[in-house]
Amino acid sequence: MAYDKFVTLTSRAVPLPVENVDTDQIIPARFLKAVERKGFGDNLFRDWRYDKANQPIADFPLNDSKYSGKILVGGKNFGSGSSREHAAWAIYDYGFRVVVSSFFADIFKGNSLNNGLLPVIVSPAFLEKIFAAIEADPTTELEVDLENQKITLLTTGESEEFEINAYKKHCLQNGLDDIDYLVNMKEEIEAFER
Amino acid sequence: MEAKTLFDKIWDAHVVKKVEAGPSVLYIDRHFIHEVTSPVAFLGLKNRGLKVFRPDQTTATPDHNVPTIDQELSIKDELSRHQVEMLKKNCDEHGITYHGLGSEGHGVVHIIGPEMGLTQPGMTIVCGDSHTSTHGAFGAIAFGIGTSEVEMVLASQCIMQPKPKKMRITVDGELGKGVTSKDIALYIISKISTSGGTGHFIEYAGSAITSLSMEARMTLCNLSIESGARGGMIAPDDTTINYIKGRQFAPKGADWDKAVEYWKSLKSDEGAQFDTEYHFDAADIEPMITYGTNPGMGIGVTATIPLGEELQGTDRTTFLKSLKYMDYNPGEPMKGKKVDYVFLGSCTNGRIEDFRAFAQFVKGKKKADDIHVWLVPGSKAVEKQIIAEGLDQIFEEAGMALRQPGCSACLAMNDDKIPEGKYAVSTSNRNFEGRQGPGARTLLASPLTAAAVAVTGVITDPRELM
């Protein structure tokens, strides 16, 4: 799937200090009935974001006007559960380009990387610092530098390096996906089958 | 020669190419698809002008969206119907075998694969569904993938994956009365947490595992993903081979002998290294029940909800948020709590042995007055077998009705939703907030515990009624 190239992002961040945010919360199953990839952002965190009367729940961070930005910061074990790629699509479609957590579930991490959404894994201590900084000042900005694999809290200048597979980094920096790569391998795959 | 794990043996045999400083290109033997996670992948193929590379290695069935009553009629929900029709259309266009609603081969995708003999030891198997881990019970590398990856497999029969770490979980000893493989799984997850398996592929071993039937093994491997592991597997043995023999797509004649010889070689070598190892004693495992909003929040059915006093920071707030959703308090016993619904079914516990166990338990008893019981076979074949064995009569005499196959109340995507605020003891796999319907409260348990609840209306230790 085509997505924007990722270089460096400087943005405020939306905090979601909850652990084990599963993909059923990110997008409930009843919103998975589309046959095209569009509009999933409207239902991002649907049941945490809206009440039964479809009114926004004021204290949910996405509804809180003091928070904004293209970075979502979540508690540990973010994206667990169902393999639905719709979760990554919903987060991207809403406008996020980075999700920060101290720990991601495997399938969600892979799905994000395949869709231009960068999962940034930080230490639990640094995650706490980010949450504290945003709580103290919601205009706090973070800088995510993919080339140098570095995330910086711009208010204090504190930074941490993050890991990313070199191949996936190359894909993100160039807006490439795996399918082009695999389709170009057709002869090798046919030879393997024999 | 270097000692290899079962996982290594199968993985290494499927690597087409290792990308430098990147993932491996892994060849996929079997690809299962369903209606929810495939349409965008087919659209991607169309946009690139590609055809499905190996349609004969792909099998399709609609399961998530389908109703479980009146399947003969057209699906009422327009979006659901469209998604199911789209799967059929895509399959027709690309020459993929499609097991439609009401047909002999229809069912939950992870139930029909093994039933037909499509799932075999030594294979690599994927599906756009996290419970693909089920197929690992046969000694296969089976894992759930996202839709981009579904598109990759449709386009090239390959997927790009970094090699995971390896974990072995050994459970030795004899299981107590009323303890099933579902309880083993919930026990393990309660010990290692829902992220304990992340980054790993699990091999289950030990006498308590090898003594399990094939279907019980599928339940255990199915729940591997709930520990965060991509998949879980069990080395094939006579139980595996006897299960596969004679099934529709099982190898025949000389091919069978050759296959069996290969399958018997599929086990971890003596001295093979695992990145992480756990050992558990089967005697420590009770019938389990969950009290919170992730599958790691499980306890023995006779236990009390943890106090969580040792938890701090977001751990503590997450724990309390979970109990608030359930409307439970720390320190309360689970036994005796009121239940509104019982759901038997899903890719976790929707097989014939699950229905036999449930039927045997409720035989001669009556459904509790104010409880709804949904009995949903995992496939058409399971439904037929239930009827052939007269289990439907037992259910009827107990005041319970059999429904038609599908994912049903596991995920609130079809008509079978648990109403807001109600409690459901469910044999499925996830107790996340809203998983079975907005505001629904899920308690995961085995078919036996579910049967005990169905006849008492409250959380009950099945051993007391056996």
ipTM: 0.96
- The reported pLDDT for the residue numbered A3 is 77
Is A33 in CB contact (< 8 Å) with chain B? yes
- The reported pLDDT for the residue numbered A15 is 98
- The reported pLDDT for the residue numbered A41 is 97
Residues of B in contact with A29 (CB under 8 A): 64, 411-413, 435
Q: What stretch of H or E contains B288?
A: strand B288-290
Residues of B in contact with A32 (CB under 8 A): 36, 64, 413
Instruction: Tell me the whole-structure pTM to 2 decimals.
Output: 0.97
- The reported pLDDT for the residue numbered A2 is 63
- Confidence tier at A4 by pLDDT (50, 70, 90): confident
Is A144 in CB contact (< 8 Å) with chain B? no
**A78 in Cβ contact with A52 (< 8 Å):** no
For B37, the closest chain A residue by CA position comes to: A84
Is B444 in CB contact (< 8 Å) with chain A? no
Query: Alpha carbon of B40 to those of A35, A36, A84, B36, B37: distances in Å?
Result: 6, 5, 12, 9, 7
Cβ neighbours of A54 (radius 10 Å): 8
- Confidence tier at A176 by pLDDT (50, 70, 90): confident
Is B413 in CB contact (< 8 Å) with chain A? yes
- The reported pLDDT for the residue numbered A1 is 54
- The reported pLDDT for the residue numbered A131 is 97
| Helix pair angle (B380-388, B109-116), 10° resolution | 70
Residues of B in contact with A103 (CB under 8 A): 195, 198
- Computed over every residue of chain A, the mean pLDDT equals 96
Q: Say how far apart CA B399 and CA B406 lie, in whole Å.
A: 22
**B182 in Cβ contact with A8 (< 8 Å):** no
Is A167 in CB contact (< 8 Å) with chain B? yes
Q: Within 13 Å, how many C-alpha atoms sit on residue B156's CB side?
A: 26
- Looking at the DSSP bridge assignments, the partners of residue B458 are B338
Q: Across the interface, do B16 and A192 touch by the CB < 8 Å criterion? A: yes
- The reported pLDDT for the residue numbered B250 is 98
Q: Across the interface, do B158 and A52 touch by the CB < 8 Å criterion? A: no
Query: Alpha carbon of A154 to those of A158, A159, A162, B153, B226: distances in Å?
Result: 7, 8, 16, 42, 37
A 71-100 residues with CB < 8 A to B: 75-77, 80-86, 88
Nearest to A83 among B25, B27, B144 (CB): B144
Is A7 in CB contact (< 8 Å) with chain B? no
Q: What stretch of H or E contains B70?
A: none
Residue A21 has pLDDT above 80, yes or no: yes
Q: Across the interface, do B148 and A128 touch by the CB < 8 Å criterion? A: no
Q: Across the interface, do B146 and A85 touch by the CB < 8 Å criterion? A: yes
pLDDT tens-place values along chain B, 466 residues long = 789 999 999 999 999 999 988 899 999 999 999 999 999 999 999 999 999 999 999 999 999 999 999 999 999 999 999 999 999 999 999 999 999 999 999 999 999 999 999 999 999 999 999 999 999 999 999 999 999 999 999 999 999 999 999 999 999 999 999 999 999 999 999 999 999 999 999 999 999 999 999 999 999 999 999 999 999 999 999 999 999 999 999 999 999 999 999 999 999 999 999 999 999 999 999 999 999 999 999 999 999 999 999 999 889 999 999 999 999 999 999 999 999 999 999 999 999 999 999 999 999 999 999 999 999 999 999 999 999 999 999 999 999 999 999 999 999 999 999 999 999 999 999 999 999 999 999 999 999 999 999 999 999 999 999 9
Q: Across the interface, do B144 and A181 touch by the CB < 8 Å criterion? A: no
Nearest to A80 among B158, B194, B412 (CB): B194
